[in-house]
Amino acid sequence: MPDTEEFDQQKELAWMDYSGILDMEVEFVADLGETELTVREVLKLERGSIVDLRKPAGESVESYVNGRILGKGEVMVYEKNLAIRINEVLDSSAVLYYLSKERL
């Protein structure tokens, strides 16, 4: 008996047609660390103050696109600016899946 419901790979992967989202702007965030401060401590901050983010120097930082984790990287200086060198990235199909779902 022939299978009447043939697997249509092109139809199954139709959600991966992401040409319509390539120019969509996204928010990129690198999480350097966090801490808790009292209002008193915030009011004492001045130029040159140091805020301990409770993260060891050299530890990788998480990178997010539109609030969803993209991967991990490291902080570096690039052309006199702070930058993130991406060392680990989620599978690209997972990233595109999340972005395409947000557009709906």
If you write DSSP's letter for every residue of 26-92 in order, what string do you get?
--EEEE-------HHHHHH--TT-----S--TT--EEEEETTEEEEEEEEEEETTEEEEEEEEE--H
Identify the pLDDT of residue 4: 47
pLDDT along the chain (104 residues), means of 10: 55 63 86 92 96 86 88 90 89 72 60
What's the rounded Cα separation, in Å, for the pair 77 and 74? 10
Note if the pTM is more than 0.75. Answer: no
Q: Where are the domains of the chain?
A: 28-103
**Domain 28-103: which CATH class?**
mainly beta
Identify the pLDDT of residue 15: 59
Identify the pLDDT of residue 79: 92
